[in-house]
Amino acid sequence: MLQACLNGARPVGCHPALPVTPEQVAADAVVAAGLGVVSLHLHARDVLGLEVLAGPEVATTVATVRAAVPGVEIGVTTGAWIVTDPERRAELVAGWAGLASGRPDVASVNVHEDGWLDVCAAARQAGVGVELGVFHRDAARRLADTGPPEGAVRVLAEVQTTGPDASAVVAEAEALLRLLEPIGLPVLLHGEEGGTWPVLIHAARLELDTRVGLEDTLRLPNGNAAPDNAALITAAQRLRRAQAPS
């Protein structure tokens, strides 16, 4: 599976093609689906372009995207940097239960953040699956010790080593995978910035799910600036095909 992470936490204006409004995100989602993407990871924004977890803004973004690409999995973030109080964060996520067509299919919950288990429970209460974000080895060990909470559908293993040594990036990916293997959940392996492409290629070689988009990188594999999400997805699909068993 290739997931598209279309905007992330990047500030408005950091890239001319960064989708921010529900309509912009939906337009990119249509292109992504046409390129073979079956899962989307979104960061909902308010009218000022700031990330939010509040139900009305999440519902507007998700419902707009779902209408544009029915049948594609839609995931959102629950990042602690958006709402720092873990109790309030869990309350907001639990409130997604009543969002109807605006309720996301899955939500990413970062294992290293305070209150992560409560947020996972809130997502399950709302009928939303959980992607467990694992950013480093300590988080992987914490998840292994705790075990996956009910409702978890996959692990998002994010390699934070960004290069320039691709071998070091891949070594960190392997270290994470070794720690995550006993947990038994499917793993979506991805990198960020300079580590995006080495990790994507490694994931393809291992036949693991992966992702790409302007959240993770603004550059193509050759180092040139990416004009938009479509260019990143096209490059990712080409690299994945090149790694496929003959």
| Per-residue pLDDT reduced to its tens digit, 180-205 | 999 999 999 999 999 999 999 999 99
Q: Which of 79, 64, 81, 75 is nearest to 30 (CA)?
A: 64
Tokens of 167: 């071998």
Kindly state the helix (H) or strand (E) to which residue 149 belongs, with its residue range. Answer: none
Q: What is the pLDDT of residue 188?
A: 98
Instruction: Compute the distance between CA of residue 26 and CA of residue 40 in angstroms, rounded to an integer.
Output: 10
Q: Are 116 and 109 in contact (CB under 8 A)?
A: yes
d(CA 240, CA 116): 32
Q: Could you tell me how many helices (H) and strands (E) the chain has, helices first?
A: 8, 8
pLDDT computed for residue 147 by the predictor: 96
How many CB atoms within 10 Å of residue 69? Answer: 20
User: Mind listing the pLDDT tens digit of every residue in the chain (246 residues)?
Assistant: 999 999 999 999 999 999 999 999 999 999 999 999 999 999 999 999 999 999 999 999 999 999 999 999 999 999 999 999 999 999 999 999 999 999 999 999 999 999 999 999 999 999 999 999 999 999 999 999 999 999 999 999 999 999 889 999 999 999 999 999 999 999 999 999 999 999 999 999 999 999 999 999 999 999 999 999 999 999 999 999 999 776
- Res 246: pLDDT: 64
CB 103 within 8 A of CB 71: no
DSSP state of 6: -
Residue 160's pLDDT is what?
95
C-alpha distance from residue 196 to each of 43, 91, 189, 193, 222 (Å): 19, 33, 10, 6, 12
The pLDDT tens digits for 40-68 are 999 999 999 999 999 999 999 999 999 99
Q: What is the pTM of this model?
A: 0.96
pLDDT of 156: 98
Q: Which of 174, 170, 180 is nearest to 138 (CA)?
A: 180
The span from the CA of 17 to the CA of 10, in Å, is: 12
Contact 35/77 with Cβ under 8 angstroms?
no
Which residues, at least 6 apart from 122, have a Cβ–Cβ distance to it below 8 Å?
90, 91, 93, 94
Name the 3-class secondary structure at 240.
helix
Cα–Cα–Cα angle for 103, 106, 110, rounded to 5 degrees: 125
The reported pLDDT for the residue numbered 244 is 75
Q: Which domains does the chain have, with CATH numbers?
A: 2-243 (3.20.20.70)
